[in-house]
Amino acid sequence: MKIGIKSLGCPKNLVDTEVICGKLLEKGYSITGEIENSDIAIINTCSFVKDAVEESIEEILNLIKLKNEGRIKHIIVTGCLPQRYIKEKINEELPEIDAFMGVSELLEVGGVIEKILQNEKICQVGESPNYLYNYKTPRILLTPRHYAYVKIAEGCNNHCTYCMIPTLRGNYRSRKMEDIIEEVKKLSENKSLKEIILIAQDTTLYGYDIYGEYKLAELLKKLSLLKIDNIKWIRILYTHPAHYFDKLIEVMATYPKICPYLDIPLQHINNKILKKMNRKISKKDIEKIINKSREKIPNLALRTTFIVGFPGETDKDFEELLNYIKEVKFDKLGVFTYSREKGTPAYDFSHQIPLKVKKQRMETLMMAQQKISKEKNNSFLGKVKDVLIDEIDKNDNFMAIGRTMTDAPEIDGKVFVNTDNTKDKAKVGEFVKTKIIDASEYDLFGELV
Which of 382 and 419 is assigned the larger pLDDT?
A: 382
- Give the pLDDT band (50/70/90) at residue 292: very high
Q: Which domain-ending residue is among 70, 91, 124?
A: 124
Is residue 104 in a domain?
Answer: yes
Tell me the C-alpha distance between 240 and 149, whole Å: 18
Q: Which domain-ending residue is among 68, 89, 124?
A: 124
* Predicted local distance difference test score (pLDDT) of residue 348: 97
Which of 415 and 92 is assigned the larger pLDDT?
A: 415
Roughly how many angstroms between the first and final C-alpha of the chain, as a whole number?
48
Q: What is the DSSP string of 118-139?
A: TT--EEE--SS------TTS--
Which of 31-45, 47-61, 312-326, 387-401 has the highest mean predicted lDDT (pLDDT)?
312-326
Judged against a pLDDT cut of 90, whether residue 394 lies above it is answered with no
Type and span of the H or E element at 27: none
Mean pLDDT of the chain: 95
Residue 67 CA: distances (Å) to CA of 17, 97, 115, 271: 22, 9, 18, 51
Look up residue 267 and give its DSSP letter.
B
Is residue 441 in a domain?
Answer: yes
To the nearest whole percent, how much of the chain has pLDDT over 70? 99
Judged against a pLDDT cut of 70, whether residue 42 lies above it is answered with yes
Is residue 61 in a domain?
Answer: yes
Is residue 23 in a domain?
Answer: yes
Looking at residues 100-122, what average pLDDT do you find? 94
Judged against a pLDDT cut of 70, whether residue 422 lies above it is answered with no
- Taking alpha carbons only, the member of 65, 72, 69 closest to residue 3 is 72
- Give the pLDDT band (50/70/90) at residue 423: low
- List the domain range (segments joined by +) for residue 46: 2-124
Model pLDDT for residues 124-154, shown as the tens digit of each residue: 898 888 999 999 999 999 999 999 999 999 9
Q: Please give the sequence-ordered ranges of beta strands (E in DSSP) within 71-207, or none if there are none.
A: 74-79, 99-101, 122-124, 147-151, 153-154, 173-174, 195-199
Looking at residues 165-189, what average pLDDT do you find? 96
Residues in the chain: 449
Is residue 80 in a domain?
Answer: yes
Domain total of the chain: 2
Is residue 294 in a domain?
Answer: no
Residue 96's CATH number: 3.40.50.12160
Is residue 29 in a domain?
Answer: yes
How would you classify the pairing of strands 301-308 and 415-418? unpaired
Judged against a pLDDT cut of 80, whether residue 333 lies above it is answered with yes
Model pLDDT for residues 252-270, shown as the tens digit of each residue: 999 999 999 999 999 999 9
* Predicted local distance difference test score (pLDDT) of residue 419: 87
Looking at residues 282-298, what average pLDDT do you find? 97
- The pTM for the full model equals 0.95
Looking at residues 284-301, what average pLDDT do you find? 96
Judged against a pLDDT cut of 70, whether residue 315 lies above it is answered with yes
Lowest mean pLDDT among 189-198, 225-234, 415-424: 415-424
Residue 436 CA: distances (Å) to CA of 276, 363, 378, 380, 383: 44, 29, 9, 6, 6
* Predicted local distance difference test score (pLDDT) of residue 101: 95
Tell me the C-alpha distance between 11 and 297, whole Å: 26
- Taking alpha carbons only, the member of 107, 161, 108, 168 closest to residue 139 is 107
CA neighbours within 13 Å on the CB side: how many for 118? 6
Judged against a pLDDT cut of 70, whether residue 275 lies above it is answered with yes
Is residue 408 in a domain?
Answer: yes
Q: Which domain-ending residue is among 101, 124, 147?
A: 124
3 state SS of 236: strand
* Predicted local distance difference test score (pLDDT) of residue 397: 75
Neighbours of 372 (CB within 10 A): 18
Query: Is-contact 142 21, C-beta < 8 A?
Result: yes
- Taking alpha carbons only, the member of 152, 215, 147 closest to residue 183 is 152
Judged against a pLDDT cut of 90, whether residue 425 lies above it is answered with no
- Taking alpha carbons only, the member of 91, 54, 92, 55 closest to residue 76 is 91
- Taking alpha carbons only, the member of 231, 151, 431, 145 closest to residue 223 is 231
Residue 402's CATH number: 2.40.50.140
